[in-house]
Structure 1
Amino acid sequence: MSFSAEQAAYQVQERLKAITRLVHEIEKERTRNEHTLNNITKTHDKITQEGKVSPYYQQKLKGLYTTAVSDAEQEEELIREALKKIYEIRNICNERRIQSRCAGNKETFRRGDLMNMLQSSAQTLPLWVSKPGEKVPPLCGAVPADSTYIAKTGDMVAALVKDAKEEENWILAEVLTFNPATNKYEVDDIDEEQKDRHTLSKRRVVPLPLMRANPETDPSALFPKGSVVMALYPQTTCFYKAVVNKLPQTATDDYEVLFEDQTYADGYAPPLNVAQCYVIAIKNKKGKSQLT
């Protein structure tokens, strides 16, 4: 979908209005929920005082708990709807950015700004919160893409490229196009200092997660401790081999990883934090990249 600047602004404003309305509805629902929960607490207090659960209180608690569950489900739906609007705004802005770039208006970031942008992008990546029994989709946390998946224009990927010395390295890149006839991607190095464009076979491109996994609801969608992964080294745009040392405990936490570094006695540098979206399954290749 393409948007003119005016259309994009209108679409964003409409969603902002919807978010404002939803926030007010969520607050009303939360207030109603609190009232029900207070009644449940008071009823339990009375039962404790009387030392028994009479048929009256059994029916009353049953009704209160039914109401509380219904209220919670309604609040959940409102929150999910608000999050959906936020993600739609994110997609609209990204679409406009891609359109602008395709029109020849290439973005230019200073190094510090680029690092801040990458961090912000990781923090605002959509969070998958599954419902009971719901399966975690591909490209959520540690769940890989399907073998037939094709990354879309504007998606971030890890790309295996050769430098001037013919050494191979995994870099952070952005997808420009995919040619199904040749099974090759055209990607841009995200590093403004390089500004290199690469044409790569599909096996040399690994899509990054499109959603964060919630450790509290979907711990299975995270890499287990001790997993060998590729992780984006902090303040760089290159991926290196690392071992997961500590998992995220909440939806806003990073992984703690140990990067390979032969200058240390045990072969690993001190632990560093890396966001979920920059930690992916490792790919074996000739001439492994190592920190030096």
Structure 2
Amino acid sequence: MPLTADTIAAQHVQERLKALYQLVHDIEKKRQQSEHGINNIQKMQNSQDEKSSQHYQMKLKGLYKNAIAHAEQEEEVLRKALQKITEIRNIKNERRIQTRHTINKDTIRRGPWMKMLLSSAQTLPLFVSKIGEKPPPLCGAVPADPNYVAKVGDMVAALVKVADGDGDCILAEVVSYNHTTNKYEVDDILEEQNQKERHTLSKRRVIPLPLMRANPETDSSALFPLGTVVMALYPQTTCFYKAIVNKQPATHMDEYVLLFEDPSYAEGYSDPLCVAQRYVIALKLKTKQA
């Protein structure tokens, strides 16, 4: 009996989970080695030895070299583990795309769907640069290359026309891209609530969302500066509106704190609201205000 696509995908996920399980154990071993090396350095520096002697300097230098080597080994294993997590995420996303037209979307209500969007943002792969390495396109605030085309199943910000002739910027999913006409077909993300609406849009009306989170501790340059006017997904909605960056993420788990333009407030801006990196993009599309 031939294996189904679901079974094959499950096997691929299990293989990577097993590898990840072993990597987690390896990470702990490397962490202990790194900790031991740092402790040896501290003991050496706290010793009563003559710190200006050549023997002391050579021994301390050797301890530092060992500590650096252990730290590099720990980093390597951590990066391997992150890669396995990304592979698992990609496999599951591919299956979701392949089966999206067969599931009963009536069963997914607004609350669970909003939780899914939040989870998607929180589990977006984290980019941690090496020394001298620059964040790649679609990492945090870094825009896509001009010739980049979003893949089928990717979420994007799409400017769609509405009755009054203005535009709404909505969260959408890429269905296809025509290289001849340079146009996307995208589905309003609300299709998950059985409100499917497909749009055909030119490339300039579609902005790919970040594919990786920027790490504020190593790549703050890949974050929008304070005071920047951006487009962001208003909490508990699937629409993007203009906002000002009030506070940057301080750690890889933090979100932006934004002030949305809102004429219903006396100051013209909403109270501070938190929005994940994945749903904050550069201001390029002309839309209505919140």
Q: Is TM > 0.5 for Structure 1 vs Structure 2? A: yes
- Is the CA contact (8 Å cut-off) linking 1:230 and 1:281 kept in structure 2? yes
Matches within 5 A, 1:174-189: 174-189=173-188
* Other-structure match for 2:141: 142
Q: Tell me, what secondary structure is at the counterpart of 1:41?
A: helix
Q: Which amino acid aligns with 1:212?
A: R
Separation of aligned partners in 2, 1:199 and 1:284:
16
- Is the CA contact (8 Å cut-off) linking 2:227 and 2:246 kept in structure 1? yes
Shift of 1:266: 2.1
Q: Tell me, what secondary structure is at the counterpart of 1:114?
A: helix
Q: Tell me, what secondary structure is at the counterpart of 2:30?
A: helix
Of 55-64 and 137-146, deviating more is 55-64
Separation of aligned partners in 2, 1:193 and 1:252:
32
Separation of aligned partners in 2, 1:151 and 1:99:
17
RMSD: 1.4
- Is the CA contact (8 Å cut-off) linking 1:174 and 1:190 kept in structure 2? yes
* Other-structure match for 1:210: 211
Alignment CA distance shift 1:16-1:190 (3 Å): same
Shift of 1:164: 4.5
Q: Tell me, what secondary structure is at the counterpart of 1:142?
A: coil
Shift of 1:54: 1.9
* Other-structure match for 1:199: 200
Say if 2:90 is the partner of 1:87.
no
Q: What is the count of residue pairs matched by the alignment?
A: 284
* Other-structure match for 1:283: 284
Matches within 5 A, 1:25-104: 25-46=26-47, 49-50=48-49, 52-101=51-100, 104=102
Shift of 1:81: 0.1
Matches within 5 A, 1:100-179: 100-101=99-100, 104-105=102-103, 107-108=105-106, 109-179=108-178
- Is the CA contact (8 Å cut-off) linking 1:100 and 1:106 kept in structure 2? no
Q: Tell me, what secondary structure is at the counterpart of 2:242?
A: strand
Summarize deviations over 1:96-122 as a string: whole Å, max 9, x none.
0111125x4464521001100000000
Shift of 1:6: 1.3
Shift of 1:275: 0.4
* Other-structure match for 2:235: 234
Separation of aligned partners in 2, 1:50 and 1:24:
37
* Other-structure match for 1:249: 250
Shift of 1:263: 2.1
Q: Tell me, what secondary structure is at the counterpart of 1:93?
A: helix
Separation of aligned partners in 2, 1:107 and 1:85:
30
Q: Which runs of 4+ in 1 moved over 6 A?
A: none
Q: Tell me, what secondary structure is at the counterpart of 1:95?
A: helix
Of 272-281 and 186-195, deviating more is 186-195
